[in-house]
């Protein structure tokens, strides 16, 4: 029997809140500051991209994929283009595949930079945020050198690449790799062995391997729980089969493990980029692509490993029109966000922001 009559406090976090990473809305039911229940409300950034794609031709869709996960646009470009290539069975020349890999890995670093910065800031470590943005800037500079854009790149074409790398770009990438490698310890010094950071992240939002699989999680969230699933390793695409790299996994599946996994991915990405730059083959950058892209009737699903998890594209073509009959994305942010109510239950308000950050969502991709 309860001695005192207590009420739950309903706290509406978002859609305008500094830590919900865009326009996510979480309705929290609190007992004191402890979360007893929550509803995640999405859709504030819904632009109907999937439907829009069914009314655009295949080349125009690349531009739309930029606008889904706008902090790692090149990954979405790559995932879409490879899906169409799979549907039309287009062979991509090796040089294009290598450059695509470099772009994807640079993009992974930039996305993780943004994640680490905002995640650390959610937990109050402001300085880490600015350090990360300092290094992310360098990646954006590299992308600007390559394609002229800094956020929405439109960097991949069906069958290859629109542009070859500019002269001296490979040297710049190499210099960047060396520089960035020296910066990772700076983040780790501020966080990894920091007692406050550990107390804020260890044993917070634990999710077991079975639960992670059952919830359909992917990416660092799944690997943090100890499941060594990485599309780059398990179903290699682009040129990943040619490179040596490890898939870091966590043990407990808490916020700290997910942090460690992502920091290790920084290093592995650098490893891949270095191998790709060293072994960059000569040759054309665009394969044999028909002038009018009109895939044969049929449907296909293809997934790649985005910084946030497994991003998959499903395209159905009726073989008659120049637009997809059905276009559907499996966005990692959306699928991973499903875990949020389970993760935050029983934790405190302060942990809610840490856990939203830990999932690494981009609302543009959740809502599409």
Partner 1 sequence: MSAYFIAHFLLIFLVFNMLVMSAAFMVWMERKVCAYIQDRVGPNRVGVEGLLQPFADVLKLLMKEELRPKAADAFLFTIAPIVSAAAAFTAFSVIPFGSETTLFGLLDRPLPLEVTDVNVAVLVIFAITSMGVYGIVLAGWSSNSKYSLLGGLRSSAQMISYELSYGLALAAVIVLGGSLSLRELVLNQTGYWFHVIPRWYIFLQPLGFLIYLTAGVAETNRAPFDFPEAEQELVAGYHTEYSSMSFAMFFLAEYINMVTVSAVATSLYLGGWLGPILPSWLGWLWFLLKVLLLLFFYVWMRWTLPRYRYDQLMEFGWKWLLPAAVVNLIATAALVLWIG
Instruction: Using CB under 8 A, pick the residue from 68, 276, 286, 352 that binds partner 1.
Output: 352
Residue 359 binds partner 1, judged by CB under 8 A: no
Residue 263 binds partner 1, judged by CB under 8 A: no
Residue 125 binds partner 1, judged by CB under 8 A: yes
Query: Closest CB to partner 1 among 124 and 290?
Result: 124
User: Max CA-CA distance within the chain?
Assistant: 78
Q: How many CB atoms lie within 10 A of CB 116?
A: 26
List, in sequence order, every residue forming a beta bridge with 12; answer none if it has no partner: 27
Residue 191 binds partner 1, judged by CB under 8 A: yes
What does the alpha-carbon distance between residue 355 and residue 344 come to, in Å, rounded to a whole number? 7
Residue 348 binds partner 1, judged by CB under 8 A: yes
Residue 350 binds partner 1, judged by CB under 8 A: yes
Query: Closest CB to partner 1 among 322 and 350?
Result: 350
Q: Is 262 helix (H, G, I), strand (E, B) or coil?
A: helix
Instruction: Using CB under 8 A, pick the residue from 60, 127, 171, 251 that binds partner 1.
Output: 127
The answer to whether residues 205 and 220 touch, using CB atoms and an 8 Å cutoff, is no
Residues 1-40 that bind partner 1 (CB under 8 A): 9, 11-12, 17-19, 33
Residue 344 binds partner 1, judged by CB under 8 A: no
Query: Closest CB to partner 1 among 18 and 168?
Result: 18
Locus of tokens 């739309």: 64
Query: Closest CB to partner 1 among 130 and 241?
Result: 130
Instruction: Using CB under 8 A, pick the residue from 351, 360, 365, 367 that binds partner 1.
Output: 351
Spell out the residues 6+ positions from residue 327 whose beta carbon is closer than 8 angstroms to its own.
50, 51, 53, 54, 61, 313, 314, 315, 316
User: Exposed, middle or buried, 235 (CB in 10 Å: 0-12/13-18/19+)?
Assistant: middle
CA 20 to chain centre: 17
Q: How many CB atoms lie within 10 A of CB 322?
A: 14
The first and second tokens of residue 158, run together, are 């069906």
Query: Closest CB to partner 1 among 66 and 122?
Result: 122
β 25-31/34-41 pair status: antiparallel
What does the alpha-carbon distance between residue 257 and residue 204 come to, in Å, rounded to a whole number? 10
CB of 194 to partner 1, least distance (A): 7
| Phi, psi (deg, nearest 5) at residue 9 | -100, 125
Instruction: Using CB under 8 A, pick the residue from 137, 199, 210, 246 that binds partner 1.
Output: 199
Residues 308-337 that bind partner 1 (CB under 8 A): none
Side-by-side strand order, sheet with 309-317: 298-306, 309-317, 326-330
CB of 19 to partner 1, least distance (A): 4
Query: Closest CB to partner 1 among 126 and 297?
Result: 126
The first and second tokens of residue 281, run together, are 């083959």
CB of 124 to partner 1, least distance (A): 3
Strand ranges for the chain from DSSP E: 9-13, 25-31, 34-41, 298-306, 309-317, 326-330
Query: Closest CB to partner 1 among 29 and 56?
Result: 29
CB of 305 to partner 1, least distance (A): 29
Query: Closest CB to partner 1 among 41 and 52?
Result: 41
The count of residues interacting with partner 1 (CB under 8 A) is 31
Instruction: Using CB under 8 A, pick the residue from 103, 123, 207, 272 that binds partner 1.
Output: 123
Query: Closest CB to partner 1 among 164 and 186?
Result: 186
What does the alpha-carbon distance between residue 311 and residue 347 come to, in Å, rounded to a whole number? 29
Residue 121 binds partner 1, judged by CB under 8 A: yes
The answer to whether residues 13 and 21 touch, using CB atoms and an 8 Å cutoff, is no
Strand ranges for 64-179 from DSSP E: none
Residue 360 binds partner 1, judged by CB under 8 A: no
CB of 135 to partner 1, least distance (A): 10
Which residues contact partner 1 (rule: CB under 8 A)? 9, 11-12, 17-19, 33, 120-127, 130-131, 134, 190-191, 194, 196-197, 199-200, 348-353
């Amino acid at each position: 029997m309860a001695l005192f009559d207590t009420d739950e406090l309903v706290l509406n976090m978002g859609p305008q809140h500094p830590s919900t990473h865009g326009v996510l809305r979480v309705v929290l039911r609190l007992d004191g500051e402890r979360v007893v229940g929550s509803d995640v409300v999405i859709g504030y950034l819904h632009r109907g991209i999937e439907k829009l794609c069914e009314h655009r031709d295949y080349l125009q869709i690349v531009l739309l994929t930029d606008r889904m996960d706008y902090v790692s646009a090149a990954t979405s470009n790559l995932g879409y283009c490879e899906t169409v290539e799979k549907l039309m069975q287009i062979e991509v020349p090796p040089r294009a595949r290598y450059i695509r890999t470099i772009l994807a890995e640079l993009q992974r670093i930039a996305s993780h930079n943004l994640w680490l910065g905002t995640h650390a800031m959610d937990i109050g470590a402001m300085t880490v945020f600015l350090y990360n943005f300092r290094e992310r800037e360098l990646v954006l500079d590299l992308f600007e050198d390559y394609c002229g854009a800094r956020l929405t790149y439109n960097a991949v074409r069906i069958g290859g690449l629109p542009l070859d790398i500019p002269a001296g770009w490979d040297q710049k990438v190499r210099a960047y790799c060396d520089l960035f490698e020296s910066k990772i310890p700076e983040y780790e010094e501020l966080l990894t062995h920091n007692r406050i950071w550990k107390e804020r992240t260890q044993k917070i939002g634990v999710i077991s391997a079975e639960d992670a699989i059952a919830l359909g999680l992917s990416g660092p969230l799944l690997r943090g729980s100890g499941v060594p699933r990485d599309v780059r390793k398990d179903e290699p695409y682009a040129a990943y089969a040619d490179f040596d790299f490890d898939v870091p996994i966590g043990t407990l599946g808490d916020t700290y493990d997910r942090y460690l996994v992502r920091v290790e991915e920084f290093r592995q990405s650098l490893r891949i980029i270095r191998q790709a730059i060293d072994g960059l083959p000569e040759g054309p950058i665009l394969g044999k692509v028909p002038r009018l892209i009109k895939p044969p009737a049929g449907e296909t699903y293809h997934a790649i490993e985005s910084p946030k998890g497994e991003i998959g594209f499903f395209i159905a073509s009726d073989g008659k029109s120049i637009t997809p009959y059905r276009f559907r994305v499996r966005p990692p942010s959306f699928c991973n966000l499903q875990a949020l109510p389970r993760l935050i239950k029983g934790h405190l308000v302060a942990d809610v922001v840490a856990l939203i950050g830990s999932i690494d969502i981009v609302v543009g991709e959740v809502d599409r």
